[in-house]
Amino acid sequence: MTRLKLYTAIYVVLFVFATVQVLVEQSGGLPYWTAFWVIIALSFVKALMVAWYYQHLKWEPRSVAFTMFVGLLAALALTTAAAYSIL
């Protein structure tokens, strides 16, 4: 039962982060780069939470966790590079 409560709480946090991302994108009140970095930061935290709890990365060997983290950083670098090409 404890795990169910934990997963539900994480789901609610992920839902709130996704809602904030949509509000930041739709508001138009923030400068482009501020909104970009807010969305990137929220996406990064969401990806870590999903990998850590829902994919049970917490109980995997550290080498697997490190591989996932490197992939996440590569995705962040590619997203940042793509943002420069949009401007």
Residue partners of 66: CB distance under 8 A and separation at least 6 = none
**Mean pLDDT for the stretch of residues 63-84:** 82
- Note the pLDDT of residue 19: 95
- Note the pLDDT of residue 86: 73
User: What confidence tens digit (pLDDT) does each residue in 12-55 have?
Assistant: 999 999 999 999 989 888 888 899 899 989 988 998 888 777 77
CB 27 within 8 A of CB 71: no
Q: Kindly report the pTM of this predicted structure.
A: 0.64
Distance between CA atoms of residues 32 and 79, nearest Å: 15
